[in-house]
Amino acid sequence: MSEPQEAKKDAAAQICDRDGNPVADSCASQGKLLALLYRTKPGRAALKILTDPLVSRLAGAALEHPLSTVAIPPFVMKKHIRMADYAQEKFRSFNDFFTRPVKPSARPIDRDPDALIAPCDAKLTVVPVTEQTHFAVKGADYSLASFLGCKKLAKRFAGGQCLIFRLTPDDYHRYCYPDDCCPGRTRCIEGVLHTVNPVSAETVKVYHENTRTVTLLKTAHFGDMLQIEVGAMLVGKIVNHPHGKRVARGIEKGYFEFGGSTIVLVLAPGAAEIDPQIIRNTENGAETLVRYGSRIGHRG
């Protein structure tokens, strides 16, 4: 491998803060294990079992057992989770811990109507949607129509943007509505459950294959927007709450049970301008660390 290729590969795995400074990846060791699964023949054979939704349901059931609480202290220590951000102190199971709600003061919502907010804690990448309704993630080409399961819907967002929020196990796994809106019916597209770690992009089109839920939001300040929750390896399920005809920005939309996962916002052309540093980080092959409710751009 040439030196420029090596540099590109290293950059692709980088995470930066809002000022463009590299930050430590708390899940780096997980990436090494996933590389074995996705880059070796025995690993790819094992993936046929691990990506089956039944395996994730079984793992989820195990994490609901009271004995699973023994895994909480080492997980908190290894992932450097700030437990002062959470009101709950005792948990019935590991999944009860994993889906714990945060104190509102720890994730304040930016109420400026011109501000576009992050719907979750995540590592953010911003990519354009072409006029042919395709988008690229880590060198892999995706069809927006295949991702959404609807060609007609995809055409409405041609020339727009995909905001890809990748959650890792150390993140807060509840997510909110990014603006005041009238949410449409949430549609589920069944699939398998590959990891959303960038290592999988080398061999698998996860956004075409993974289980996902799609909701059209008619927002007050950014026009029509799509919010898609993507399940991932060992995620027990995606849980979306029922809501009325209108909801306010920052209201919790749902949560993921254990595992990594992804939320994608699809914006129409000109709907929002994303903060320049986030765009620069993406252009440099890096994801940007963002927090639930924080400003990531403004109305276009």
Q: How many CB atoms lie within 10 A of CB 163?
A: 28
Respond yes or no: is residue 170 known to be catalytic.
no
Contact 227, 173 (CB under 8 A): no
* Phi/psi at 132 (5° precision): -90, 10
The radius of gyration of the chain from alpha carbons, rounded to an integer in Å, stands at: 18
Cβ neighbours for 54, distance < 8 A, ≥ 6 positions apart: none
Task: Give the C-alpha separation, 292 to 119, whole Å.
Answer: 5
Task: Give the C-alpha separation, 229 to 215, whole Å.
Answer: 9
Alpha helix (H) residue ranges in 174-263:
206-209
Residue of 56, 68, 121, 171 marked active site = 121
Respond yes or no: is residue 121 known to be catalytic.
yes
Tokens matching residue 208: 């075409």
Catalytic residues: 121, 261
